[in-house]
Structure 1
Amino acid sequence: MKKLLLTAVLLATSYSAFSADMISAQEAKHFKLVSAGNISVSSSGGQISSPSDLHAALSKLADEKGAKYYTIISAREHGNNFEAVAKTYK
């Protein structure tokens, strides 16, 4: 059982090392995470065509800021366009 738990923890940490994870504002507050600033994405270039693309774009931008986590402050879809603003955390 201990080996299974250790393997699960190692896999989770190795995955998160490659991309920032979305968390809730309550989790950020609970764990007293340090803000790394805000990021925003928009599909005006046509690269974001679904909510999963939106999350991938936010994760990539958070990574570029050196952040491990992000919380979505606002998001909307209008027509086939998606946009969002998120707060990042280290």
Structure 2
Amino acid sequence: MVSAVNGYTASKEDLLKRLRRAEGQVRGIARMVEEDKYCIDILTQVSAATKALESVALSLLADHLSHCVAEASAEGGAVAEEKIREANEAIARMVRS
């Protein structure tokens, strides 16, 4: 049976810190728009926030692969197939975005 513990549990505090930082960046971007800042400066900040979220996503994906998918693969069968399908779909969504 696959563990009920999420793969990111060990890095949860780091993930939350990074998400709070990205949240602050997005609030800063909204402030820049409210203050009619220069378009390129806003785009630069959007790019930084996007990269911060991509970093969180890659960390979650790595944890998912090394924990959830690895455990399911050890179990084999339909559980393994489902976890691999989920991981493939998540990767496809990340690549398309």
What TM bracket, shorter-length normalisation?
Answer: under 0.3
Computing the radius of gyration from Cα coordinates, the structure with the larger value is 2
Give the TM-score taking structure 1 as reference length.
Answer: 0.28
Bigger proportion of residues as helix: 2
Bigger proportion of residues as strand: 1
